Amino acid sequence: MSVSSTEIIVVLLVALIVLGPNQLPDAMRRLGSAYREFKKISSSVQNEINSVVSETTGMFTSTADTVSGRAEVKSTGGSDDQDDFDGTLPKSNQSYRPADEDLDAPEDA
């Protein structure tokens, strides 16, 4: 919805006739003040909505990265075992047993 310049002129002329030349400047000041306050409130609401949306999007992105295995593994400074992690997990029906390594190794004796 756009307001043309002729519509603005008609509204100002009606306001001048209704309010008179003495009250019109004060009414315009109050109208401008109310408009500025409305813009300030709407801007703060819009900023708050944008921050909530970006925070939520960030949470979804990090969750999606974690689920897909693309999450960055950060070392806690303890052991270096995490540095060799390639992001793949063992299949659920297989388990690691140290005895399996001994069975696969060639016997030298």
Kindly report, residue by residue over 35-93, the tens digit of the pLDDT: 999 999 999 999 999 999 888 888 878 777 777 776 555 544 555 555 555 666 555 55
Question: In the chain, which residue ranges form alpha helices assigned H by DSSP?
Answer: 5-68, 98-104
Q: Which of 97, 96, 75 lies closest to 85, judged by CA?
A: 75
**Do the beta carbons of residue 45 and residue 53 sit within 8 Å?**
no
Residue 29 CA to residue 8 CA, distance in Å, equals 16
Token pair 């696969």 is found at: 104
**Do the beta carbons of residue 73 and residue 84 sit within 8 Å?**
no
User: Three-state SS for 95?
Assistant: coil
pLDDT of residue 75: 46
DSSP category for residue 107 = P
